[in-house]
Structures are given as C-alpha cells and as structure tokens.
A and B are shown apart, each in its own frame.
Chain A
Amino acid sequence: MVLLIGCDNSSLVIDRLCDEAVKEDTVVMCFYFDFAARNEQSPVNMLGSLLRQLVSGQENIPEAVVQSFRERKRGIGGRGLQVSGVLEMLQTIAATKRTFICVDALDECVPAHRIVVLESLRQILRGSPNTRLFVTGRQQVRSEVEKRFGGATTFISIQPTEDGVVR
C-alpha cells in the first residue's frame, strides 16, 4: 500500500500507527490546523484532504470518487465539492478498512469551522467502527470534544517540564 504521509521515524503517534499499517490494511491520515491558514482550512478542504490521503493509500481511486469527480465536472461551471459529498465518500471508504485520523491543534480551527469538522468526524466514527481518532488541542476545546464524542473519548493531559514533553 502507499502511505501518503510517509513513515520516516520523524513523529511519535503517526509513526507508531504506521508500523502497524504496513502489516494490516490500515490507512493513517493526518491534519494540522493552523490559525494563520484559517481561510484555506475550511471544513470541505480539511475533510477533502483526509479523503485525499485515504484514496492515495488505495491501489485504485475508488469508483465513488471517480464518479463524483466526473459528475461535478459536467456541472455548470464545474461545481466544487461540498462537505456532505466529501463526508459521504469518506464514510463509504473508511468503513471498509482500519483507519486512523490524527488531527493536530483543534483549537486553531476557527469556532464556526470546528462545529462542522467535529460533527463530520463524529459521523465518520459512527459509521465506521474500525476508525480511530487522535486529536491534540488546548484545554479550552476539551469540553467541545467531550460534548461531541461523549463517553467514547479518552483524555490525556500533557504538562511541560525542563527536559521535554512529559505528562
């Protein structure tokens, strides 16, 4: 399989997940929110980027994606993707495999986008029992995650020390 983000011993969680990914039919996807890029990081672009990584890990681009691409192209002015369309494709493909979605700095996603992103991720998890979600963010967004995902969430708090990142 092709792993888009690469397993280059440069990260912790993603790298550990990739170790497993080469053994099984597993796809690891990542996304890094950045407040400075908030205009480009719209929900549809963020979810589209996850989908892009998911289909890049396949031998062939899934038929659902190719069909959607052709239909959109035929539309007047070449209509762009919408959240519902991306979500549908993500759900369909993610449900057939073991997938890990890793999202960094959720707090740097603007609040209006965050609602859409969290709800979309919730729907992916609901329809795909073999999908795992890893999220980092400041404590201020913890309650939003808790509210959206309820009891299915495990929390780890990271505290700084002089010699690095520890618990």
Chain B
Amino acid sequence: MSQNFSDNCNSINIANSFNYTPSDDESKILAWLSPLEPWVRHRDIGAERVDGIGAWILETREFRRWRNVSSEDESNHATLFCDGNPGVGKSYIM
C-alpha cells in the first residue's frame, strides 16, 4: 500500500510538474502535513480480518441512514459511534 502511495505521488508529480516549483514538490508537501501513515494500519487489519465477520453492521438501519443522509435532510445524523468492550472486534468493522 505504501508502495502504491509513493507511485501515486510520482505520477501526480510528473503530471503537474508545471504547477509546482521543484522545491514545492508534492511528496514534500504531503510529508509536511503529517508523518503518520494510517493506511499502513488499515492494510494490516485487512489482512487479519476473517471474511464476513461484522458484516451485519452494513445492513443496519443506523448505518444506511448515516451513509445516505443528504445535507438537505433536516434530521442530521452526521456521526455514527460504534462502541464495544475491548476484544469485540471494533477495528475489524472499520
């Protein structure tokens, strides 16, 4: 995943090279924004997850309403919080 990420950066740099001076190249700006790489954790969790576990959540009324609600909708459900005790697999759901 991180390899793909740097590949993306390279291709974007080439495509947009006329927009940036060499000292402002895209990968430098991205690294300046944050040194953290949560997509690495995302990949690791995905590799550990057992298929089908927790899939029920995608079918709940709460999840569908949260995902589909539009800005025009008066009933604002912008935040969905999944709580559970340690070890129930919350990270695998995300």
Contacts and interface: CB of A to CB of B under 8 A. Distances in A.
A154 B46 contact: no
Contacts of B39: 4-6, 30, 53
Interface residues of B, number: 64
The binding surface of chain A is classed by DSSP as mixed
A136 B82 contact: yes
Contacts of A48: 33-34, 36
Interface in A1-50: 2, 4-6, 8-14, 16-17, 20, 30-32, 34, 40-41, 45-49
B56 A167 contact: yes
Contacts of B55: 12
A137 B83 contact: yes
A108 to B, nearest CB: 10
Given A139-B83, A152-B78, A164 B71 contact: no
A160 interface: yes
